[in-house]
Amino acid sequence: MSDPHEIDPDYSKHGGFPDFEAATPGPGFGRFLTAMRRAQDLAVSANPDSDTWIEAAQLAERLVALLDPFEAAEGVGPANRVPSEPGSGSLLMPPYRVHKFDAEAVELTVTFSRYHVGGNYAVHGGVLPLMFDSSFGMVIHATGKPISRTGFLHVDYRKITPIDIPLTLRAWVREEQGRKSFVNAELRDPEGNLLAEANGLMIMLLPGQP
């Protein structure tokens, strides 16, 4: 991976993006993520009695009160900055693990859960663009290109995407035209069946563009 500053001397001036570096928040953060992911699943699937909902609300409110004084700016908190954790430590993303990260392609495994269900135990169609868009950003970073934003993202759904099964996502740059990078990605199940594929446009930001 090349240094994007060599391609674009104004790299650091693009839209005020923080300089993301890996964070080391300690083992408690990993435990927290695991518990929170399970809490997300239960938040959309549990059906307890009224008293249990009241107790759960009180516990959630205590958690908010505990963490609220420590809210930090983007690029300061550990979320999305811990590569050793699934989803790089971001609860926004489905838990994924990157296995290949270079100029040729980015490859990762991702497992969707009950939290991501849209209906009939299939992954919600709106969740897949989120995962594809994230992979496009990884490709831009892996190829050493300067900071870019998504110009468009098109998704074709080929089969139902299941939950609780490790799936493989591969993304790569198909073509480059100046500031434009045309990218592709595909999601497959363990048998190699194509579940969904995407193509999109990533546009390099100019200095000052947010």
Q: Which two tokens stand for residue 76?
A: 């300061």
**DSSP string for residues in 145-162:** PPPEEEEEEEEEE-SPPB
pLDDT band with cut points at 50, 70 and 90 for residue 125: very high
Region 90-98 average pLDDT:
96
The predicted-structure confidence for 153-178, as pLDDT tens digits, reads as follows 999 999 999 999 999 999 999 999 99
The predicted-structure confidence for 77-87, as pLDDT tens digits, reads as follows 999 999 999 99
Residue found by looking up tokens 């435990």 in the block? 31
Distance, in Å, from the CA atom of 167 to the CA atom of 164, rounded to the nearest integer, reads: 9
Greater confidence (187 vs 3) lies with 187
The predicted-structure confidence for 17-64, as pLDDT tens digits, reads as follows 666 788 999 989 999 999 999 999 999 999 999 999 999 999 999 999
Domain extents in the chain: 23-82, 93-210
Pairing relation of β-strands 117-119 and 122-123? antiparallel
Distance, in Å, from the CA atom of 185 to the CA atom of 112, rounded to the nearest integer, reads: 17
Which regions of the chain does DSSP assign to beta strands (E)?
A: 96-101, 106-110, 117-119, 122-123, 148-157, 167-177, 180-188, 194-204
Strand partners, 162: 122
CATH architecture of 93-210: Roll (3.10)
Distance, in Å, from the CA atom of 113 to the CA atom of 87, rounded to the nearest integer, reads: 13
Question: How many C-beta atoms surround the C-beta of residue 70 within 10 A?
Answer: 7
